[in-house]
Structure 1
């Protein structure tokens, strides 16, 4: 069973597309985040999802929300993907799938593809929304809805 609403986000460290280390502990309890796990750079669904997050990026950042995409692709693959599609957010390398396992994300499509799941993390470091869908274009609207609900509380 994966992490769900109200779960505390585990601490983890991963490299971003520029080779810099991202440490979740630097943000947990200090800043809200959107973490989206996706199967693979440069595939049609993942590109559509990443570009949807790119197009909504300002909406998230205006509210102080950090956005990061996570997949098992390498730093170099992430760097090319970010440059090709002008992705302004962090892409984090989880080559051993350790963070994916921490979050309890299961494979999809007959267990052949890494799962696609988005988490909205509130300022306290707890999950405000967990959304799992193979439909890449549903993730950004769900995340934006969760962000609006967080503001209302």
Structure 2
């Protein structure tokens, strides 16, 4: 898997709004909390997304954008976003290319896509990596702590 201190690989994917998100376009502007999750509308993934939603303004105040990535379709992401009023983009990584690019491991004996969060600073360097399938909402708290340290 990628390491803290590595340059985050650039990528572009479609958002729930139909736009294209390009990581390189964020450089110099804001930190990115890039979280990979297994599947829309499952219990752990919903808890994680809603926790990011509930603290989204705090992330914005810390100069960060939250971006979720899974292999679900754009249509599934749109439904999930509307149902839970998610204010941040979800990206459709249908073929799993970005997941592979970020070397996100599979979980539960390789049956499920993993849950990994990366905090990427404004220069595009990975400052933090958190990998846990079972502690979904901890991803949010951990990312926020890292952003607070970056702001100091």
Deviations 1:59-95 (A, max 9, x none): 0011221110000000000000000000000000000
Match of 1:136 in 2: 136
Query: What is the Cα deviation at residue 29 of structure 1?
Result: 3.6
Q: State TM-score, norm by structure 1.
A: 0.96
Query: What is the Cα deviation at residue 137 of structure 1?
Result: 1.6
3-state SS in 1 of match to 2:18? coil
Match of 1:145 in 2: 145
Bigger Cα displacement from structure 2, 71-80 vs 18-27: 18-27
Distance 1:137 1:63 in 2: 18
How many correspondences in the alignment? Answer: 151
Match of 1:11 in 2: 10
Calculate the aligned-residue CA RMSD, in Å: 0.8
Match of 2:44 in 1: 45
Distance 1:136 1:42 in 2: 13
3-state SS in 1 of match to 2:118? strand
Distance 2:29 2:16 in 1: 23
Match of 1:123 in 2: 122
Unaligned segments of structure 1, at least 5 residues: none
Distance 1:46 1:61 in 2: 21
Tell me which stretches of 4 or more aligned residues in structure 1 moved more than 3 Å.
Answer: none
1:33-72 map, 5 Å: 33-72=32-71
Match of 2:79 in 1: 80
Q: State TM-score, norm by structure 2.
A: 0.96
